Structures are given as C-alpha cells and as structure tokens.
C-alpha cells in the first residue's frame, strides 16, 4: 500500500514528508528529480517512476508534485485517485492548495494525512467525515481555540462512518432548506484546417449543493435520459433504480458534492441517422500564412456563434502558440485586447462576448526573423468560452422531488456550457 | 498566527527551549510545544532527543494532544525502543476506553510502532479489538494485523490472528469485510504459498454483498480479490459479472478499472454465443472512454491498460478510435500512449482518418512525438495492407519537408515497408537516395544501407553510394558497420564484376582492423563463403527473407493473458509480469532463480525474459519472430534438446504462476526433501534408470499390464486406456487417440493416429505449450508417412521435462499442437501424474519421518478411495509399479498403515500414509507435500492405479 508521501514544489524542494510505515529516506526522490529534469515541461514528468526498491507515483496539481512511494504491487490508479483526493481535501480545508497554505496549516495537514490513511490503507476520505474528525481552520475558530484552549479535533466518533449512508451525517438542521443543482458541460473539440469536426465530445457533471434538514430522499428525472449512456455516479445514487427507470434516486450528502458525471460522444452507441449529439457552439475562420523568403506572415482570425440556441457566448478567450520563428505580432482586434509574449510566443486574445451582428476579428501581420526559413509547424488555436443557461448536449432536468421529510425545500437547477479542450488546427 | 511559525525556529537552542515548554505546567503551552515538535518532524528535522518529554504528554484527556503524541511516537519509537516501552501502559489502557474512537486509535497507533518489544504487548489488546462490538474498532484492528505481520510474521501466525482475520470476511459490516480482505491480500503477497484467500462460493457471495455497501477503496480491495477467484462454471461466472457490472459506473477510476479486470477475466468463461456476452462487451467500452477524460496521470494508467485490452479484445473499442486522437496540450506520455493505441485500432475502415491524424502529428513541435508519429505511419502500412500505398506517399511527403529527424525516421520505416511488401514500392528509392547526406543517426544510416544493398541491382550507383559510407567505416556504430558489410557482399553477389575491390576492402576492414568480434566473425564467414562456394554464398546471403508482420510488436499471448489478469496494477503499466519487478514478492524470485539460470540473483535476466524475441541482433536481416505463437504455428521441427540443464532459448517469463497464487514456486522449489541437487536436476533428462531399482514385481503388477490397453513392458507404470484427444471433426479428418506411459524410466506419449479424410496426410510434427512440469518432446514425431485415408498407425513419442514451465489449470493439463500438411490442430489432454514419478523416489525412513514432521499440517490432504478390494500387500505391489514406494508398514488394531513416498521429475517429494482396514473396501490416503497443489493429481493416480 502507500508507504510515504512527499510534497515537492516547483523549484524541486521537498517541503513536507509523511510516512505511514517505516521511514523511507527522502533520497528516494532523487529519481523523481532526475525525471523532472529530463521532462521539458513540468506536466511531462511521467506519473509512474520505477526505482530499484520503490515505485514513485506522482500527480501535479496546483504546481505541487504529490509524490507517493510504494513498495509492493499496488494499483497505480488507486494511488493516483487517492492523491487527487488529498489535494481536494486540502483545497476544501484551506481554500487553496498552495505551498504557503500547506505550511501555514502543517499540523492540520499532518492530522488529515494521518486520518486519511492507516498503514497505507485509506481510512476516511469523505470530506464530511473528515470535517467531523478534524475541524477546518477558520479565523474565528483559531481565535476561540487560543482563548479557550479547546482544539480543532472532534471528540466524537464520526457518526457517518458506520451507517448505511456513510456520506451523510445524522442530525443535520437548516432553517432554510435548499437544494441547488448545476448542470455543467465542457465540450472538447478538435476541428481541422478545413473547418470540419474531427472529434467532439462532452464531459458533463451535475454538481449539487444540498442543504436539507434530516434524511431527505430525493429523486431527479430527466426529459431525455437517453443521453446519459456513459455515467459515473456518486455512491449515494441507487444504481438499480437508474438501470430500471432512468431516475436518479438518492439520499444526498450534506453540502456540496458531485452527483454524477457523464460523457457524451459524437457517435458511439447511437443508431445511424440519430442527430449528432454534439453541437459546436462557435466557429472560427482563420488564415495564418507564412510565405517562403518573406519575413512577414499574415494573421487573420474571425469568430462567430453557431448552434447556441439563441444564448450568448461569453468570456471568450483565444490563445495560440505561434511558431518559434515569429518575432512579433502586429495585430488589431475589432473588440477586446490581445497580448503577444515574444518569449513564450504565446498569443492571447481576450475577446469577451461575441456579438452575432458584429463578429469579433483579429487581423494583422507577424514579423519573422530576417532570413529565417518558413516555420514548419502550424499553430493550433485554443478557445475558451462560456454559455449560460444551456447544456450543449440538450440535457434537461424534468423534475426534482423530495420524500422522507415534511418541509418544502427551495429547489433550483442551473445550466452552463464551457469550452474544455476546444482546439482548432490551422 | 498560523502554523508556519513552527517552521521558523531553527536556532541552536531550539531543542532546549522545546524541552522546557514540553515540561511546562500549562496545558496550552504543552500543546503548542508538541505542535512545534511535529512541525519540525514533518520537514525532516531530527527531534528524537525529545522523546521522553513528549511521551510524558501522552496521558491526557485532550484528544488532539493525544493524537499528536501518537504521531510523534510512530515516527521515533524505532530509534528509542526502550523509551517506547514507557508508552505501552497507556496504550493498553486506551484499548479499554469506553470511547470506540480512542480504542481504535490506540490499536492503530500501536501497530505503527515498529518495535519488537512493543508488539508482544500488542497481541492481547489486538485480539480483543478484533472481536470488539464496534465495527469501527474491528475494521481498524483488521488492518493492524497486516501491520503486525509486516513486523513479525511468525508472531501473527502463532497467535492465530490469520484465522480471526479470515473469519472477519464473513463479518456483518461491509467495511470490516473490505479491510479484512485488504489486510489478507497484503499478507498473502509476502506469503505466496499460503492459502489465505481461499475463496469458495459462500465467501464470494459475502464479498459481492459487501461490494455494494463499502467505500470506494474497499470496493477496490474486494474487486482485486475477486479477480483471483476461478468460478466453477459459466453460470457462476455470469452471476458474478452481473453483480460487478454496476461498478463500471463508479466515479473512482480505480474501482472502474478493477471492475474491468474482473469482467475481462471472467468473460473468458462465458460461452461466446450467449446474449449476455455481447451485452457485457458493449458495456465495457463507455467506462474505458470516460477514463480518458480524467486527469492526465489517470489517463496514462488507463491508456496502458487499454493497450492490453485492445490487444486481447479489439472489438470492445473498435468504434472509439476518435477518443484516442491527440490533443496538442496533452502531456507527452499521454500522447505517446494514445498513438500506440491508435495503431492497434487501425483497420481498413478507419485508416484514412488515422493517416490524416498521423500526418498532422508529424508536423508538431515535440521531437519524440513526431518521430513516433512517423513510425506509426510505417506500422499502419504493415498492419493494413490496403493502406500501404497511401502510407508510402505520406512518408514521401514528409521526406520532402526536409526536417532532419523526420527524414531519418521515415527512412527507417520505409525499410520495414520494403520488408513487408518486397518489390512494390522500389520507385521511391531515388527520393531516398537524395537524402543520403543528411542521415546522421545510426539506425537511419543502417536502414538506408540495407535498402541500397537489398536493391543494389536497381540502383545504378549503388557501389558509389556504399563506397562513400566506407570511408569513415571505423567511426560508424556497430549496427551500421554490420549492415554495410552485408550490403556490400550483397552488392558483390549481384554485380560481381565491378565491385571486387570494394568487397575486398570491406572484408579486410571488418576482419583485420576491427576489434568487434561480431563484425570479425561475420566478415570471416562471408569471406570463406565467397572464396569456397560463391553459389552457396548467393543462396545464403540473397536468400528469400520471411516477411515481417504486425505481430512483432504485439505482446506474446501467454504474457498478455497474464497481464489481463493484472489489469490496473503496476504490471499492467509496465507490461511485465509482476514477478519480474515487484519487490513485494521477494520470496517468489528467490525460489525461482536457481532453477532458471543455475546461479545468480540478477533480476536483469528476468527482465529480458519478460520480452522474448525483443532482442533483435542489430543487423540481422531476418526479423526475430520468436514468440510462442510463431513457434507453434511454424512448428519449428527441431526438438528442444535436453542435454543442458536450462531450457533452450531465452529464459521464458514464468509469470503464470503468480496469477495462480504463486503455488508453482513451491513446485519448483529446490528445498524439498533435503536434496540439494534437485534444483539442477529439474532440467536434467528423465531417462536415468537408477541401478538400485530392484523392487520385486508382484503379482498385482501382472494384472496391470493386461489392463493398460498398451503393450506390456517390464517396469512400466500404470497406463490409462487411450482416450480420444482430437476428434476427426475438429482435426479435418485426423483423429488422435492417446495416452501416456512411463516405460523404462522414459515418459512416452502414445498415440493412435487415424486418417479419416479423403486425402493422404504427410509432414507430421508436434509441439507442446508450456506446462506445469516442462514436458516437451524428446525427439521429432515419427510418423511413417504418407498416412493414407482410413489408415491407422500407433506412434510413441518419448518426452523429457526440459521444456519451459508454466503452471496449468488443472496441473496436469497439457496443450498440444499437431501439424500436418493440412493444418495445425490444437488440443489439450491430461496426463496421469504417475508418469512423473521417478524410479529413485524411495526415501530413507529417517528422512521420511523428518520430512513428514517438517511439512506444515495445512499441506496435508486426505482422500478416500472406495470399492477397493486389495489387501495391503497387493496394493503396495501395485503402487510400486507406478514408482510409489512403500517405506514402512505398521499394523494397528486391524488397520494396515503403509507409509509411502514418491518423487516427481522436478524433485518434489510426496509423502503418503495409506490406511487399509482389513475387510473394508474403503482406503484412506493422507498425503503431505510441500507443494499442496499436486495432491489432487496424486490422489487420482492412487485411485487409478489401485482400481486397475
């Protein structure tokens, strides 16, 4: 199982170590540093690194490497999932997961790690159980603790840990009972030179914020559950009911949680002729050319909305890694602002909102190194955007009902579409 | 103020300061001080000097302070064992606390203190906690057993904790079940022979129930444990699959992948025509695709596993090509894996799309990725014949870009394309030759030289081109030198008149001026060939070369099978069997190595064993296709010789055993029966007839000969009647009946071949798959051919046990391939294990007694044989014919007890006690052997031998 954990910052210093079995010398991280040196980019460090006696499994989040050391055959996904869970917990507790935050709360961090793993076996990873065991630090509590000498460690046996619904604690009470659900879809697209779609898929999630008294039992049904073919549920969802009736029935955890995540791809599983499920909400017209022998290149980019069901496309941000040979870009934007970083060659254009009547464009010239040959590679264009009040897959919630409790809760559903990895090749 | 203040105290007198604070009367100050100590500890400072002072703070009602002290104790107890004893009392007291949280915390912490003296005191509290009324305490205690086992395995066994742990598998609380399974799995890993996780249908049911209710981590443990189970039949297999399938929708990717493993494994047992089988296949695709939308690290592990799944069952993801398309900001390790899977999925249907993508990738920035993309184009050409032309023209386009590394990579793959489709694309050679000067990597140079040599007759200035390489001959790498030598010899054989000087030059460079023995030897061989028999030289050097195929980069099937059983583990990430690299299975490795290579413990030899056929001599013209499949299909007719102790060829991975619980290690273990030579004796020929063999042939044995169905021979073992191995329906007219016999110390495979087809059969050959005891043909199959229609012949094939070893299920299963001019046929048969009893298996009485005592009782098996009407002497005689030797006889209260021993060809000794009650037809056999898995087979032999 998981033997030890080292936290390494971006400059390659180990700033925290934790051992769950015997102590492993931190020199084991030298193998990690070697790999880190070999990697051209921080994110290119391979996640599994063998050393003569151990294996190092690492994840990079918030520019911190979480390096787990294992000694025997352990499923690597198990370790990686656990590490991500550690990061999420830190973020949950401290608001951010940075080196400074971790150092500021080092004792809590240590207590958390101790509760999360026992002898390398996961012990308590559900955030609401952890919060019962170890109270998250708040300014108020720190002050109260200093004055009264009380602690931030719970005295109680975490009640949820052994019940049939380990994700929910008992005795929850609210004056305002509310349940909000956010349907958030990220669309991953690759579009080729000619403008045709190579791949398009949607990663959707339904995040919930449920603050309900007692033990409510919720059901959520959809207008078009057929879309949800490939889903991953929170453990609270009753799988049998979903299989049989396509209704989500569950006793929710208290607070924020991810109810389900789903995946919609453009093709699989649907009969021929079925409407393509992935609509592409924006289009890009581009013309980026370099001529042989000339030290100038042309850059011309126009964006426009497409298949947005009348909703506005907002927070549009275009970025493109221009070829190394480009010295500078002299462009003019019809709206928004653009920046070009001559060192990293990264062109960023903050467009804002797309007005369908007056399409945003970015035009101008790029100067190349004099005498250099025409660049080999074609820059890809990366686009970020948001569309409110729409799920691009068309997923719609039909009803949300509550059983088991008598009060009437406030209910709300919000939809949003975001660009995930939206790439246009030129 | 935040905790970061604890980091700032680096002054010299810090320890003294802390000491004073720890001994302060004020609770608050104490706690602050402990916090400071912990903070120093986390950043790796040595604060062990404060041990007594911190331990003094332990007796407190303050839970946080208690936890902090515990944290400290776990870290430093090892360096201060005497001091740590001071803490014991508090622990023992805490284990009785009314608050289960404290009880659990105490037992948990005690287990983490890795000090022998403390572990002794741990036993009693732990025993109580394992039976605690509160499941939270029980589940913590379960993990504690694993901790204790890690520190002192013997203690855990002596105290009977393992049995308690096994009982916890049936606990009412799912979390307790999950933790018990996790603890047992971890213990089992360092204990390859123990039957800790012996699963039966009842326990499986318990696990499946707990699976639905326990945490995600518990689900992983349970699923991994389920994967080791072998269902009895397809119905059970289906019902397990049905109950595991919902896990595919779990948010935790590790749960998903473990579920995929169970399904992939159990699917094998389902009949293919079952509707459920198809449904299951369909259900597997979406979760795998979903894994690819997770964080890059998860994607990487998922992709490595998908790579295996795609090789095993390409149908699952054949429509999902697009999800493997590379995004430009994927990390490089994800990109490379995606590329690999794209090629595996490439087919005629999607090749156009794939090629377009690959061409796109070849213009990216990252050099490694671009190279691999170019290579991928070549592999597509080899894999999908229809696309070859398209691939070649894509490659030519890429060569036109003149990007140096792209050109070099393209030339290397074009060489491979030539090897797959000779005489088809030679028109491109001219373009290739234009780029000769830009090649600076050895592999590209060697490839280009090979092309020039191979097509020398079509390249007008081939001699000039090769000559230009020759100038810097000594600066070239060996790969290029060897290739150049071969190419010039080829050129000479094709155009002898103009190139005599050139060939002489290269031969002298290679033989006289080179220090490299490979190069020299090859040079001399060519030289002698050319000078003695140019015609023969032509036949050798210009011989037709076998085509390369896509298979060369597939994983060898048996290894793939094994890896599929290890989906989700490190083995699946490295595509190597776990035995090849994981330290946790130390015991396994140590036992195996002496048998494989005779000496040394280099794990390197294991590593190379993991990829047979991967080491290709740099300049060899013929690609090595030496994987097992190739061998079986081509039926390499040279039988493996049994002269050497080690099996021929590179050491094969013997991974199969680990997936089956590592049981075979004990089979192969050299530590049996106190005979040190056993290890090496394993590979030795079995045909040694011990001179001391003077056992009397009793009357019972005479009966046996008449019954065997075969020809009676003196000293033969019991021979079961021939059974039908290959029905004519399946053998395209060839019917094979057969049996096994041991005659004069040699194992014989006796077969009756019948030709029920309309045409004659010729060219018979036989080969075995790896099997439990390394059985292999000792000579070629000698069938008087042709075998005309309706003709029947009896053949007898001597076997030895020098072949490669892999544990089979059942143990005595043998998979055979028989080839004739019509086709290759595969069948499997089971041999009686008595074939393997050697003639010198009689043990000394003292040795017998000592060994019997030495073998642990859990290895004892007991069987009953009914309806046997022999008296004990007759039975003894009968068994002696099968090399089962009676060492002693005792009569107690009308019961005859026969003590018998036998030894297998690989040195395993089996000891038995046969109880014969006079007048009763029921015999009782008690059997002890270090390798308990042979018991069943031995028992079958007893029954067969006694009843015939």
What pLDDT, on a 0 to 100 scale, did the predictor assign at position A416? Answer: 93
Chain A interface, best mutation among B77, B106, B146, B297, by max A CB count within 10 A: B297
How many beta carbons lie within 10 A of that of residue B533, not counting itself? 12
CA distance B916 to B914: 6
Question: Would you place residue A249 in the very low, low, confident or very high pLDDT band (cuts 50, 70, 90)?
Answer: very high
pLDDT at B659: 37
For residue A219, what pLDDT band results from cuts at 50, 70 and 90?
Answer: very high
* β-strand pairing of A255-265 with A247-250: unpaired
Nearest chain A residue (CA) to B400: A376
Give the model confidence (pLDDT) of B195-233 as tens digits.
677 778 888 888 888 888 888 888 999 999 888 888 888
Is it the case that residue A32 has pLDDT exceeding 60? yes
Cβ atoms of B697 and B817 closer than 8 Å: no
The share of chain B scoring above pLDDT 70, in percent, equals 83
CB contact under 8 A, A229 and B249: no
Per-residue pLDDT reduced to its tens digit, A156-215: 555 545 556 667 777 788 888 999 999 999 998 888 888 888 888 888 999 999 999 988
> What is the Rg, in whole angstroms, of the alpha carbon atoms belonging to chain A?
26
Which residues from chain A sit within 8 angstroms of residue B64, using beta carbons? Answer: 111, 151-153
Q: What is the DSSP string of B521-554?
A: HHHHHHHHHHHH-HHHHHHHHTPPPPPP-GGGGS
- Between A295-309, B58-72, B151-165, the lowest mean confidence (pLDDT) is in B58-72
For chain B, give the mean pLDDT.
77
Contacts of A157 in chain B (CB under 8 A): 99-101, 136
Interface contact flag, A267 B4, Cβ < 8 Å: no
- Look-up of token digits 């080196």: A99
Least-confidence region, from B137-146, B537-546, B623-632, B731-740: B623-632
Here the tokens at position B382 are 């080899």
Give the residue-averaged pLDDT of A140-154.
53
Question: pTM score, two decimals?
Answer: 0.66
Residues in chain B, total: 948
Higher model confidence: residue B61 or residue B523?
B523
The residue of A9, A29, A75 whose CB has the most chain B CBs within 10 angstroms, and thus the best one to mutate to test that interface, is A75
Query: Is B463 at the interface with chain A, CB within 8 A?
Result: no
Tokens of A37: 């040196």
* Selected residue with higher pLDDT from A180 and B39: A180
Query: B-chain residues within 8 Å CB-CB of A44?
Result: 331-333
Report the pLDDT value the prediction gives residue B8, as an integer from 0 to 100.
52
B420's CB contacts (< 8 A; 6+ apart) are B381, B382, B388, B547, B548, B549
Q: Supply the DSSP symbol for B904.
A: B
Specify the pairing of strand A178-191 against strand A410-425: parallel
Q: A369-383, B255-269, B546-560, B608-622: which has the highest mean pLDDT?
A: B255-269
Spatial CB neighbours of B327, under 8 Å, sequence gap ≥ 6: A188, A190, A421, A423
Please give the angle made by the CA atoms of B505, B511 and B517, to the nearest 5 degrees.
145
pLDDT computed for residue A73 by the predictor? 81
Whether the pLDDT of residue B454 is over 50: the answer is yes
Mutation for B interface: A4, A64, A77, A277, most B CBs within 10 A: A77
**pLDDT over 80 at A62, yes or no:** yes
Which of A58, A60, A77 minimises the CB distance to B254? A77
CB contact under 8 A, A376 and B363: yes
pLDDT at B263: 92
Percent of chain A surpassing pLDDT 70: 90
pLDDT tens-digit map of B634-680: 333 333 333 333 333 334 444 333 333 333 344 443 333 333 333 33
- Chain centroid to Cα B224, Å, comes to 17
| Residues with Cβ within 8 Å of residue B127, at least 6 apart in sequence | B159, B161, B164
pLDDT of B556 higher than 50: yes
Which pLDDT score, from 0 to 100, does residue A306 have? 84
The predicted pLDDT at position B695 comes to 40
Q: What is the pLDDT of residues B189-199, one digit of tens each?
A: 777 666 677 77
Residues in A touching B296 (Cβ below 8 Å)? 43, 47
Residue A272 confidence (pLDDT) above 60: no
Nearest to B111 among A58, A107, A119 (CB): A119
Task: Give the DSSP H or E segment for B849.
Answer: helix B845-854
**B chain contacts of residue A266, beta-carbon cutoff 8 Å:** 322
Cα B913 to Cα B899: distance, rounded to the nearest angstrom:
5
* pLDDT in the model for residue A220: 92
Q: Helix axis angle, B367-383 relative to B332-345, nearest 10°?
A: 10
What integer is the mean pLDDT of B238-262?
A: 90
Of the candidates A20, A26, A229, which has its C-beta nearest B286's C-beta? A229
pLDDT higher than threshold 80 for residue B416: yes
Contact B300 A47 (CB under 8 A): yes
Instruction: Return d(Cα B300, Cα B334) in angstroms, integer.
Output: 5
Distance from CA of B249 to the nearest CA of A (A): 4
How high is the pLDDT of residue B642? 37
Please check whether residue B140 touches A, CB under 8 A. yes
Cβ of A232 within 8 Å of Cβ of B251? The answer is yes
Cβ of residue B456 closer than 8 Å to a chain A Cβ: no
CA distances (Å), B168 to each of A312, B131, B137, B223, B757, in order?
A: 59, 9, 12, 17, 60
For B803-812, the pLDDT digits (tens) are 778 778 778 8
Among the ranges given (B330-339, B573-582, B678-687, B860-869), the one the predictor scored with the smallest mean pLDDT: B678-687
Task: Indicate the pLDDT class of residue B3, thresholds 50, 70 and 90.
Answer: low
Mutate to test the interface with B, among A79, A142, A232, A244 (most CBs of B within 10 A): A232
In chain A, whose CA is at the least distance from the CA of B224? A75
Q: Contact, B186 vs B146, CB < 8 A?
A: yes
Q: Is the dihedral of CA B524, B529, B534, B535 positive or negative?
A: negative
Provide the shortest C-alpha distance from residue B435 to chain A (in Å): 18
Query: Could you tell me which chain A residue has the CA closest to the CA of B365?
Result: A377
Q: Does B132 contact A at CB distance below 8 Å?
A: no
Q: In B, residues 231-260, which contact A (CB 8 Å cutoff)?
A: 246, 249-254, 256-258
**Residue A59 pLDDT more than 90?**
yes
Residue B399 in this model has a pLDDT that exceeds 80: yes
Highest mean pLDDT among A111-120, B53-62, B843-852: A111-120
Poorest-pLDDT segment among A125-139, A309-323, B659-673, B746-760: B659-673
> Given an 8 Å threshold on Cβ–Cβ distance, is B357 in contact with A77?
no
Rounded to the nearest 10 degrees, what angle do helices B253-267 and B557-564 cross at? 130
Q: Are B699 and B877 in contact (CB under 8 A)?
A: yes
Asked if the interface predicted TM-score (ipTM) of this complex is over 0.90, the answer is no
pLDDT at B2 over 70: no
Token pair 């294992």 is found at: A70
**What is the percentage of chain B residues whose pLDDT exceeds 90?**
7
Q: What angle do CA B571, B574, B580 make, to 5 degrees?
A: 60
CB atoms within 10 A of CB B184: 25
Give the number of beta-carbon pairs within 8 Å between A and B.
Answer: 268
Sign of the CA dihedral B182, B187, B190, B196? negative
At B916-936, the pLDDT tens digits run 877 777 888 888 887 777 888
- Distance from the Cα of A237 to chain B's closest Cα (Å) equals 10
The Cβ of residue A68 has, within 10 Å, a number of other Cβ atoms equal to 27
pLDDT attached to residue A154: 54
Q: Which residue would you say has higher pLDDT here, A139 or B398?
A: B398
Q: Please tell me the predicted confidence (pLDDT) of residue A79.
A: 93
The mean per-residue pLDDT over the stretch B886-892 comes to 80
Query: In the numeric block, which tokens belong to residue B47?
Result: 């604060």
Residue A262 per-residue DSSP state: E
Contact yes or no for A17 and B28 at CB 8 A: no
Is the pLDDT at A130 greater than 70, yes or no?
A: yes
Contact B328, A192 (CB under 8 A): no
pLDDT of residue A84: 92
Report the side by side order of strands in the sheet with A326-333.
A282-290, A296-305, A361-368, A326-333
B701-735 tens-digit pLDDT: 333 333 333 333 344 456 778 888 888 877 888 88
B573 with A105: Cβ contact below 8 A? no
Give how far A410 is from chain B: nearest CA, Å.
Answer: 27
Q: What is the pLDDT of residue B50?
A: 83
Contacts of A55 in chain B (CB under 8 A): 570
Give the closest of A39, A192, A232 to B249, CB-based: A232
Q: How far is CA B565 from CA B208, B528, B668, in A?
A: 19, 52, 22
Q: Tokens 């990579």 belong to which residue?
A: B409
Asked if A73 and B569 come within 8 Å (Cβ–Cβ), the reply is: yes
Segment A48-70 shows an average pLDDT of 91
The alpha carbon of residue B219 is apart from the nearest alpha carbon of chain A, in Å, by 11
Tell me if B286 and A119 make a contact (CB, 8 A cut-off). Answer: no
Interchain contact, A72 vs B584, CB within 8 Å: yes
Q: Do A153 and B67 touch (CB under 8 A)?
A: yes
Pairing mode, if any, of strands A313-321 and A346-352?
Answer: antiparallel
Give the burial class of B551: count Cβ atoms within 10 A of its Cβ; 0-12 exposed, 13-18 middle, 19 or more buried: middle
């Amino acid at each position: 199982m998981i033997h030890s954990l080292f936290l390494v910052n971006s400059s390659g210093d180990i700033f925290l170590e934790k051992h769950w079995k015997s102590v492993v010398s931190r020199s084991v991280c030298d193998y990690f540093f070697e790999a880190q040196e070999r990697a051209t980019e921080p994110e290119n460090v391979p996640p599994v690194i063998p050393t003569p006696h151990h294996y190092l499994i690492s994840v990079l989040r918030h520019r911190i490497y979480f390096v787990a050391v294992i000694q025997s055959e352990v499923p690597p996904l198990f370790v990686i999932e656990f590490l991500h869970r550690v990061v999420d917990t830190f973020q949950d507790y401290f608001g951010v997961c940075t080196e400074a935050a971790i150092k500021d709360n080092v004792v809590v961090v240590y207590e958390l790690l101790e509760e999360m793993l026992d002898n390398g076996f996961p012990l308590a990873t559900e955030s609401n159980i952890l919060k019962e065991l170890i109270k998250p630090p708040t300014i108020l509590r720190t002050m109260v603790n200093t004055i009264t000498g009380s602690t931030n460690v719970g005295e109680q046996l975490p009640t949820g840990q052994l019940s049939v619904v380990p994700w929910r604690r008992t005795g929850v009470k609210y004056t305002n009972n509310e349940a909000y659900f956010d349907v958030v879809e990220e669309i991953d697209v690759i579009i080729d030179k000619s403008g045709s779609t190579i791949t398009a898929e949607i990663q959707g999630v339904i995040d919930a914020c449920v603050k309900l008294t007692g033990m409510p039992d919720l059901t959520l049904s959809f207008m078009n559950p057929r879309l949800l073919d490939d889903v991953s549920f929170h453990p609270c969802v009753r799988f049998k009911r979903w299989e049989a009736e396509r209704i989500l029935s569950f006793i929710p955890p208290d607070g924020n949680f991810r109810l389900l995540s789903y995946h919609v791809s453009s093709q699989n599983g649907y009969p021929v002729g079925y409407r393509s499920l992935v609509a592409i909400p924006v289009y890009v017209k581009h013309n980026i050319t370099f001529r042989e022998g000339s030290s100038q290149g042309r850059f011309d980019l126009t964006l426009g909305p497409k298949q947005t069901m009348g909703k506005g496309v907002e927070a549009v941000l275009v970025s493109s890694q221009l070829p190394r040979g480009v010295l500078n870009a002299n462009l003019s934007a019809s709206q928004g602002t653009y920046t070009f970083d001559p060192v990293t060659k990264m062109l960023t254009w903050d467009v804002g909102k797309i007005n369908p009547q007056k399409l945003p464009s970015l035009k101008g010239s790029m100067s190349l190194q004099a005498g250099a040959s025409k660049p080999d590679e074609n820059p890809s264009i990366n686009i970020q955007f948001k569309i409110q009040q729409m799920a691009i897959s068309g997923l719609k919630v039909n009803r949300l009902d509550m059983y088991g409790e008598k009060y009437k809760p406030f209910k709300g559903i919000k939809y949003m579409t975001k660009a995930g990895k939206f790439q246009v090749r030129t | 103020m935040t905790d970061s203040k604890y980091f700032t105290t680096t002054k010299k007198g810090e320890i003294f300061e802390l000491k004073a604070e720890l001994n302060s009367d004020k609770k608050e100050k104490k706690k602050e001080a402990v916090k400071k100590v912990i903070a120093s500890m986390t950043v790796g400072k040595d604060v062990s000097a404060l041990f007594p002072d911190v331990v003094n703070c332990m007796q407190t009602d303050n839970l946080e302070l208690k936890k902090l002290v515990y944290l400290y104790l776990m870290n430093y107890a090892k360096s201060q064992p005497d001091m740590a004893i001071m803490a014991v009392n508090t622990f023992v007291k805490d284990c009785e606390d009314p608050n289960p949280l404290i009880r659990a915390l105490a037992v948990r912490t005690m287990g983490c203190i890795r000090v022998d003296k403390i572990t002794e005191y741990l036993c009693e509290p732990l025993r109580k906690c394992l039976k605690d009324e509160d499941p939270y305490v029980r589940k913590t205690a379960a993990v504690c057993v694993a901790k204790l086992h890690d520190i002192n395995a013997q203690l855990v066994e002596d105290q009977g904790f393992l049995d308690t742990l096994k009982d916890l598998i049936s606990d009412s609380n799912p979390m307790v079940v999950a933790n018990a399974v996790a603890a047992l799995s971890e213990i089992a890993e360092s204990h390859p022979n123990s039957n800790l996780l012996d699963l039966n249908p009842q326990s499986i049911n318990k696990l499946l129930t707990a699976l639905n209710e326990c945490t995600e981590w518990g689900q992983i443990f349970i699923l991994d444990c389920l994967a080791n189970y072998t269902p009895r039949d397809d119905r059970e297999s289906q019902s397990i699959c049905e109950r595991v399938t919902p896990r595919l929708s779990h948010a935790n990717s590790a749960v998903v992948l473990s579920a995929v493993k169970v399904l992939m494994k159990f699917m094998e047992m389902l009949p293919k025509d079952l509707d459920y089988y198809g449904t299951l296949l369909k259900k597997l695709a979406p979760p795998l695709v979903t894994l690819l939308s997770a964080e890059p690290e998860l994607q990487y592990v998922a992709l490595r596993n998908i790579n295996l799944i795609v090789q095993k069952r390409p149908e699952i993801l054949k429509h999902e090509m697009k999800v493997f398309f590379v995004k430009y900001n994927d990390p490089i390790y994800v990109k490379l894996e995606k590329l690999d899977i794209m090629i595996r999925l490439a087919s005629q249907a999607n090749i156009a799309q794939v090629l377009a993508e690959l061409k796109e990738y070849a213009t990216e920035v990252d050099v490694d990725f671009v190279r691999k993309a170019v290579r991928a184009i070549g592999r597509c050409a080899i894999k999908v014949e229809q696309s070859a032309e398209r691939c070649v023209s894509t490659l030519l386009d890429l060569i036109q870009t003149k990007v140096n590394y792209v050109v070099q990579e393209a030339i290397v793959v074009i060489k491979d394309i030539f090897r797959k489709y000779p005489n088809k694309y030679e028109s491109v050679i001219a373009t290739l030759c234009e780029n000769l000067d830009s090649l600076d990597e050895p592999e590209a140079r060697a490839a280009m030289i090979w092309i020039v040599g191979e097509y020398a007759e079509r390249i007008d200035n081939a001699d000039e081109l090769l000559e230009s390489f020759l100038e810097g001959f000594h600066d070239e790498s060996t790969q290029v030198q060897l290739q150049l030598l071969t190419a010039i010899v080829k050129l000479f054989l094709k155009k002898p008149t103009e190139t005599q000087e050139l060939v002489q030059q290269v031969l002298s460079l290679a033989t006289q001026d080179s220090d490299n023995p490979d190069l020299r030897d090859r040079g001399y061989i060519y030289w002698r060939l050319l000078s003695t028999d140019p015609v023969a030289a032509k036949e050798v050097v210009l011989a037709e070369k076998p085509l390369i195929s896509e298979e060369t980069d597939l994983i060898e099937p048996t290894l793939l099978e094994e890896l599929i059983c290890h989906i989700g583990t490190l083995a699946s990430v490295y595509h190597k069997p776990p035995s090849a690299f994981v330290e946790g299975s130390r015991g396994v490795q140590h036992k195996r190595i002496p048998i494989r290579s005779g000496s040394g413990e280099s794990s390197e030899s294991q590593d190379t064993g993991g990829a047979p056929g991967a080491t290709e001599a740099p300049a060899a013209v013929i690609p090595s296709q030496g994987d097992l499949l190739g061998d079986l299909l081509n039926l390499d007719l040279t039988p493996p010789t049994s002269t050497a102790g080690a099996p021929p060829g590179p050491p094969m991975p013997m991974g199969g055993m680990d997936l089956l619980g590592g049981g075979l290690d004990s089979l192969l273990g050299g530590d049996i029966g106190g005979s040190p030579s056993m290890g090496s004796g394993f590979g030795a020929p079995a045909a040694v007839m011990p001179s001391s063999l003077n056992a009397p042939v009793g009357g019972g044995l005479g009966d046996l000969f008449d019954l065997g169905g075969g020809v009676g021979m003196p000293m033969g073992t019991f021979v079961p009647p021939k059974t039908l191995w290959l029905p004519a329906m399946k053998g395209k007219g060839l019917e094979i009946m057969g049996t096994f016999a041991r005659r004069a110390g040699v194992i014989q495979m006796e077969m009756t071949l019948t030709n029920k087809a309309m045409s004659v059969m010729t060219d018979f050959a036989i080969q075995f798959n790896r099997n439990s005891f390394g059985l292999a043909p000792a000579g070629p199959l000698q069938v008087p051919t042709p075998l005309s229609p309706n003709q029947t012949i009896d053949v007898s094939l001597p076997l030895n046990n020098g072949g490669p070893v892999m544990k089979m299920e059942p143990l005595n299963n043998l998979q055979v391939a028989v080839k004739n001019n019509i086709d290759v046929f595969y069948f499997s048969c089971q041999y009686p294990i008595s074939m393997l009893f050697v003639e010198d298996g009689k043990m000394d009485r003292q040795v017998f007694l000592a060994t019997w005592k030495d073998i642990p009782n859990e290895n004892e098996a007991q069987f009953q044989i009914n309806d046997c009407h022999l008296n004990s002497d007759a039975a003894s005689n009968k068994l002696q014919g099968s090399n089962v030797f009676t060492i002693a006889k005792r009569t107690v209260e009308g019961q005859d007890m026969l003590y018998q021993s036998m030894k297998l060809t690989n040195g395993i000794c089996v000891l038995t006690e046969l109880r014969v009650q006079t007048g009763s037809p029921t015999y009782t056999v008690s059997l002890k052997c270090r390798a308990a898995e042979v018991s069943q087979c031995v028992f079958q032999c007893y029954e067969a031998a006694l009843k015939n």
